[in-house]
Amino acid sequence: MNLYLKSISELSKMLDDKKISSYELTEYFLKRIKKYNKKINAFISIDENKSMEFAKIADIDIRNKNKNILTGIPIAHKDLFCTKDFLTTCGSKMLSNFKPPYDATVVKKLANKGMVPLGKTNMDEFAMGSTNETSFFGSVKNPWDFSRVPGGSSGGSAAAVASGMVTVSSGSDTGGSIRQPAAFCGLTGLKPTYGTVSRYGMIAYASSLDQGGVLARNAKDCAIIYDSIRGFDSNDSTTHNKEYNFSSKLYLDKDSAKDYSIGIPTNFIQNNLSSSLSKYFDIFIEDLKKLGFKIKDVELPIDKITIPAYYIIASSEASSNLSRYDGVKYGHRSQKAENLNELYFNSRTEGFGHEVKKRIMIGTFSLSSGYYDENYLLALKLRRKVCEEFKKIFNDVDFLICPSSTDVAFKLGDNDKTPIDIYLSDMFTTPVNLAGLPAVSLPTNFYKNLPVGMQIIGNHFEEEKILNLANLYQENSIWHKEFPGELS
């Protein structure tokens, strides 16, 4: 029985009908992890006994009819969400022995729904990377081609779902870290509106950009998880203290599609998309036209400013956030220090990897006296410009669409790509984070046996609309149902 292809709703019905227990379901996925994780390296930590304990509790709730749609369903958590039952390493030597005394709000909310945690997934160190090659625990392999990257920084979460080691996984998105891995691994990935999902217990990279979200095989599963993790949290002052309509019951059909318009930022895309993917974007547009949507060309004149603004803001905030890791209270402590200054210096030198050090240095320079105004302050002004351009567009159209990445998954250790090339691969995702908008990436085709992903961008708090569009597309396509043959 291919349970790894089942949706949350299908697995929940099987649990309702007593066709399987949560204990058996958890055991099934743990066996797949044991079988495939050595090849893929998607998980950093697993504790079978703890997972089975959660499953037993879920089975008791099911027997007592104290059940909701998520009770007994296994989930994996990206290893930057604090979990008191599992290590939380953030993919770094700095936190390789860190076991938090509490759960992140996202973890707690899903546990309260009865979900069963299987373990913590691999990631780029402190979420800094687009390939999942910066992890202290080694690179993650793309389930569609083990010689290629799964994307980053949520590459472990994406690879775990794409390989059928779990049905759904949490992720985080600072500049595309859910949507790009979703595109590379043939998944659906939701990055919500900034502030709709609590960041409490989510180890910070860039506080004004980080946002928790979900990776799954389809839009319906993303909607179910999002509905359970969204909402105000008194522990996170950046969460929105307002109610807005959201339904995980997706309802958009072809008859109502004609009432919606989709914007195509043609110049922005043509200037940055690889020629190999250009035709697949055109096919995606034609598919949406067939569903009845109105298509309009729009201007989005931001392609030259988003990457510089994003990396200056993100690196500056990282410089501040990561200053707490000094070898004193928790995390890696150097054994080669004879005084306090050496303790700080050696602990951070040994604990952080190359990419993290590089971004800390960029951020520290951008915030330094004499450079603050022409770097960080200018980046904030450019960010405001990005927000204003999106605001203009959403006065005219309901959605924006564009590719999730400039190309398909690239080779592990690709020496032809410079660091700048890697940063530029986030061209289509970083504007969404700068503006705090919601977006969903979904698989729309294949190029040379590798998934092609496109993203749907909505206005603030319009997760329901973008998930409805994604679901309607998936009801009329097959791409989200594809699975790597080698892992069947």
Q: Write the pLDDT tens digit of every residue in 134-143.
A: 999 999 999 9
Whether 170 is catalytic:
no
3-256+399-487 CATH: 3.90.1300.10
Flag whether pLDDT at 222 surpasses 80. yes
Half-sphere exposure of 149 (CA within 13 A, CB side): 29
Task: State the catalytic residue, choosing from 51, 135, 177, 441.
Answer: 177
For 149-195, how does the pLDDT look when each residue is reduced to its tens digit (9 = 90+)? 999 999 999 999 999 999 999 999 999 999 999 999 999 999 999 99
- Give the pLDDT of residue 302: 92
- Give the pLDDT of residue 408: 95
- Cα–Cα distance measured from residue 206 to residue 202, given in angstroms and rounded to the nearest whole number: 11
Q: Tokens standing for 50? A: 């703890």
- Residue-by-residue DSSP string for 94-121: GGTT---SS--HHHHHHHHTT-EEEEEE
Q: Which residues contact 464 (CB under 8 A, 6 or more apart)?
A: 223, 245, 246, 247
- Give the pLDDT of residue 263: 98
For 337-351, how does the pLDDT look when each residue is reduced to its tens digit (9 = 90+)? 999 999 999 999 999
**How many other C-beta atoms lie within 10 A of the C-beta of residue 322?**
25
- Cα–Cα distance measured from residue 386 to residue 300, given in angstroms and rounded to the nearest whole number: 9
- Give the pLDDT of residue 409: 96
Q: Which residues contact 87 (CB under 8 A, 6 or more apart)?
A: 44, 45, 79, 96, 97, 98, 99, 120
Q: Check: CB of residue 434 under 8 Å from CB of residue 191.
A: no
- Give the pLDDT of residue 418: 84
Flag whether pLDDT at 416 surpasses 80. no
In whole numbers, what is the pLDDT of the chain averaged over residues?
96
What's the mean pLDDT in 125-134?
Answer: 96
**The whole model's pTM is what?**
0.96
Burial class (CB in 10 A: 0-12, 13-18, 19+), 366: buried
- Give the pLDDT of residue 262: 98
The candidate with the shortest Cα–Cα distance to 221, out of 17, 440, 446, is 440
Q: Which residues contact 29 (CB under 8 A, 6 or more apart)?
A: 3, 4, 74, 118, 165, 166, 167
Query: What are the domain boundaries of the chain?
Result: 3-256+399-487
What's the mean pLDDT in 451-463?
Answer: 98
CA 124 to chain centre: 12
What's the mean pLDDT in 419-437?
Answer: 93
- Give the pLDDT of residue 486: 86
What's the mean pLDDT in 379-395?
Answer: 97
Whether 329 is catalytic:
no
Whether 78 is catalytic:
yes
For 265-311, how does the pLDDT look when each residue is reduced to its tens digit (9 = 90+)? 998 998 888 888 999 999 999 999 999 999 999 999 998 899 999 99
Percent of residues, the chain, with pLDDT higher than 90: 91
- Give the pLDDT of residue 260: 97
Q: Which one-letter amino acid corresponds to residue 212?
A: G
Flag whether pLDDT at 35 surpasses 90. yes
- Give the pLDDT of residue 122: 98
Instruction: Write down the H helix ranges in 291-415.
Output: 306-321, 340-351, 354-367, 378-394
What's the mean pLDDT in 229-255?
Answer: 92
Q: Tokens standing for 70? A: 């998520």
Task: State the catalytic residue, choosing from 12, 51, 130, 153.
Answer: 153
Task: State the catalytic residue, choosing from 6, 67, 78, 108.
Answer: 78
